[in-house]
Amino acid sequence: CGVFGAYRLPQASLITYYGLHTLQHRGQEASGIAVMDQGKISIQKGKGLTIDLFTKESLKKLKGETAVGHVRYSTAGGQENANIQPIVARGLKEQVAVVHNGQIVNEKELRVELEKEGCIFQGTSDSEIILHNIQKEKGSLYERVKKTAAKLVGAFSLIVMGEDELIAVRDQKGLRPLSFSKMEDGYVIASETCALDILGLYEHTEILPGEIVRFYKGIVSRERYALPSFQYMCAMEYIYFARPDSDIESINVHAFRKETGRLLAKNDWIEADLVVGVPDSSLSAAIGYAECAGIELEQGLVKNRFVTRTFIQPTQALRDRGVRMKLSPIKDVIEGKRVVMIDDSIVRGTTSRRIVRLLKEAGAKEVHVRIASPIITSPCFYGVDTSTKEELIGARMSEEQIKDYIEADSLKFMSVEELKEAAGHVGLCTACFDGAYCTPLFSYQEKLEN
Ligand code: 5GP
Ligand code: SF4
Ligand code: MG
Nearest CA to ligand 2 atom 6: 234
- Based on the domain organization, do 225 and 257 belong to the same domain? no
Residues 6+ apart with CB under 8 A from 200: none
Q: Ligand 1 mean position to 346 CA, how many Å?
A: 6
Question: Is residue 238 domain-resident?
Answer: no
What is the domain-level CATH number for residue 203? 3.60.20.10
Report how far residue 125's alpha carbon sits from residue 122's, in angstroms, rounded to the nearest whole number: 9
Nearest CA to ligand 1 atom 11: 345
Please tell me the pTM assigned to this model. Answer: 0.95
Among 103, 173, 234, residue to substitute to test ligand 2 (most atoms within 8 Å of Cβ): 234
Q: Ligand 3 mean position to 186 CA, how many Å?
A: 37
- Based on the domain organization, do 312 and 445 belong to the same domain? yes
Question: Is residue 181 domain-resident?
Answer: yes
Q: Return the number of other C-beta atoms located less than 10 Å from residue 422's C-beta.
A: 27
Parent domain of 132: 2-229
| Tally of domains within the chain | 2
* pLDDT at residue 385, as a whole number: 72
Catalytically active residues are 1
Q: Which ligand has the shortest distance to the CA of 431?
A: 2
**What digits encode the pLDDT tens for the residues 60-88?**
999 999 999 999 987 656 677 888 999 99
Nearest CA to ligand 1 atom 13: 311
Q: What angle do CA 361, 364, 369 make, to 5 degrees?
A: 100
Q: Please check whether residue 155 is in contact with residue 171, taking contact to mean a CB–CB distance below 8 angstroms.
A: yes
Q: Please check whether residue 103 is in contact with residue 76, taking contact to mean a CB–CB distance below 8 angstroms.
A: yes
344: Cβ below 6 Å to ligand 1?
Answer: yes
Domain end call among 194, 214, 229: 229
Q: What angle do CA 155, 31, 161 make, to 5 degrees?
A: 65
Q: Which numbered atom of ligand 2 lies nearest the CA of 378?
A: 5
**What digits encode the pLDDT tens for the residues 393-411?**
999 999 999 999 999 999 9
Q: Which ligand has the shortest distance to the CA of 102?
A: 2
Q: Ligand 2 mean position to 107 CA, how many Å?
A: 18
Q: Ligand 1 mean position to 326 CA, how many Å?
A: 13
Mean pLDDT computed over every residue of the chain: 93
- Based on the domain organization, do 299 and 161 belong to the same domain? no
What is this model's ipTM?
0.97
- Based on the domain organization, do 167 and 297 belong to the same domain? no
**What digits encode the pLDDT tens for the residues 321-354?**
555 667 889 999 999 999 999 999 999 998 999 8
351: Cβ below 6 Å to ligand 1?
Answer: yes
pLDDT at 268 over 60: yes
Of all residues in the chain, the percent with pLDDT exceeding 70 is: 94
Mean pLDDT of 107-134: 91
- Based on the domain organization, do 53 and 99 belong to the same domain? yes
What is the domain-level CATH number for residue 424? 3.40.50.2020
pLDDT band, residue 304 (cuts 50/70/90): confident
236: Cβ below 6 Å to ligand 1?
Answer: yes
233: Cβ below 6 Å to ligand 2?
Answer: no
Nearest CA to ligand 1 atom 8: 311
- Based on the domain organization, do 270 and 215 belong to the same domain? no
- Based on the domain organization, do 327 and 378 belong to the same domain? yes
Mean pLDDT of 371-389: 89
- Which region among 79-88, 172-181, 359-368 has the lowest average model confidence (pLDDT)? 79-88
pLDDT band, residue 310 (cuts 50/70/90): very low
Report how far residue 178's alpha carbon sits from residue 191's, in angstroms, rounded to the nearest whole number: 4
Question: Is residue 245 domain-resident?
Answer: no
Report how far residue 448's alpha carbon sits from residue 432's, in angstroms, rounded to the nearest whole number: 11
For residue 35, the cross-strand partners are: 42, 67
Report how far residue 20's alpha carbon sits from residue 2's, in angstroms, rounded to the nearest whole number: 7
Q: Please give the C-alpha separations between residue 228 and each of 133, 381, 423, in angstroms, as whole numbers.
A: 23, 22, 20
pLDDT band, residue 217 (cuts 50/70/90): very high
Q: Which residues are annotated as a binding site for Mg(2+)?
A: 281, 343-344
